[in-house]
Amino acid sequence: MNLKGKTALVTGSTSGIGLGIALSLARQGANLVLNGFGDHAAVVAQFATFGVSVEHHGADMREPGEIEAMMSFANTRFSGVDVLVNNAGIQHVANVEAFPIERWDAIIAINLSSAFHTSRLALPRMKAHNWGRIINIASSHGLVASAGKSAYVAAKHGIVGLTKALALETATTGVTVNAICPGWVLTPLVQQQIDARAMTERISVEQASRELLAEKQPSLQFTTPQQLGELAVFLCSPAADNVRGAAWAVDGGWTAQ
Ligand code: NAD
């Protein structure tokens, strides 16, 4: 229970990786501010047995004003954020000449700029307390590219860069800033890509899933949200006090190739 009494805010935590990380942090005793769309009451109910306080704020990560309202809510409800996990993200696949402008803007806003806004608002209190953790959920696409994903690759390379810059700005403090770079994790975001592939290639969803893994991820296994949650817990531990500016791949060997 090394996070008892601390407050974690995880953006995009009503689903997938964000939810997995929020559950792992709650198991360590952290109070939670959840964020994201969908049936948040059902999500909050999953935390009932952990003996921690859990709130949801529905700020849209495209909107800086709503992000400010969410951070103020965390300050009022819990007296601030100790662990900030910038996780909210969306995907759109198309070659750049056919990429809808609105999708480009949304991906840059949600997958990159929201982390700038949450970080700039969380850091003053973290620095004042001389303890804090910022964990940015980047991607293999923060380290290498794939065709058809220009906005996502640009945003994820951007968040790896933001991670390094903030790690330097906080290097002599008790605040650390790191990125986790997952390869394929079976969440709704990836299921959509598997379903699209099955439809385009007229193959079964199982076959599409096998092909998706075989193309990029040598382990041929999906990483789980729980595994990423446990890595986030490690990054919050004293053992990780001097892990700074890392872009930690959890990708079954994807970026080792
Ligand atoms: P997901 O679709 O399961 O969950 C995305 C979450 O973000 C949801 O809670 C959703 O409500 C929220 N969200 C979306 N738009 C939002 C907005 N405008 N404002 C607030 N919340 C919003 O996706 P996931 O696979 O769990 O992805 C989470 C993060 O992990 C993303 O940043 C994604 O890029 C990254 N990632 C995922 C994979 C993967 O294989 N699934 C791999 C590498 C990185």
Ligand 1 contact, 8 CB (< 6 A): no
Ligand 1 contact, 113 CB (< 6 A): no
Ligand 1 contact, 109 CB (< 6 A): no
Ligand 1 contact, 139 CB (< 6 A): yes
Query: What string of pLDDT tens digits covers the 257 residues of the chain?
Result: 699 999 999 999 999 999 999 999 999 999 999 999 999 999 999 999 999 999 999 999 999 999 999 999 999 999 899 999 999 999 999 999 999 999 999 999 999 999 999 999 999 999 999 999 999 999 999 999 999 999 999 999 999 999 999 999 999 999 999 999 999 999 999 999 999 999 999 999 999 999 999 999 999 999 999 999 999 999 999 999 999 999 999 999 999 99
Residue 1's pLDDT is what?
Answer: 63
Domain coordinates in residue numbering, the chain = 7-183+224-248, 185-222
The SS3 of residue 206 is helix
- As given in the structure block, the two tokens for residue 58 are 């529905």
Place of tokens 């939670």: 32
Dihedral sign of CA atoms 175, 179, 185, 187 in order: positive
| Cβ contacts of 116 within 8 Å, gap of 6 or more | 162
Reduced DSSP (H G I as helix, E B as strand, rest coil) percent helix, strand, coil of the chain, to 5: 55, 15, 35
Distance, CA 218 to ligand 1 centroid (Å)?
23
Residue 252's pLDDT is what?
Answer: 98
Residue 140's pLDDT is what?
Answer: 98
Say if residues 229 and 20 touch (Cβ distance below 8 Å).
Answer: yes
Which positions are catalytic? 152
Distance, CA 123 to ligand 1 centroid (Å)?
23
Query: Which CATH number fits the domain 7-183+224-248, given the four candidates 3.40.50.720, 3.20.20.70, 3.90.1300.10, 2.120.10.30?
Result: 3.40.50.720
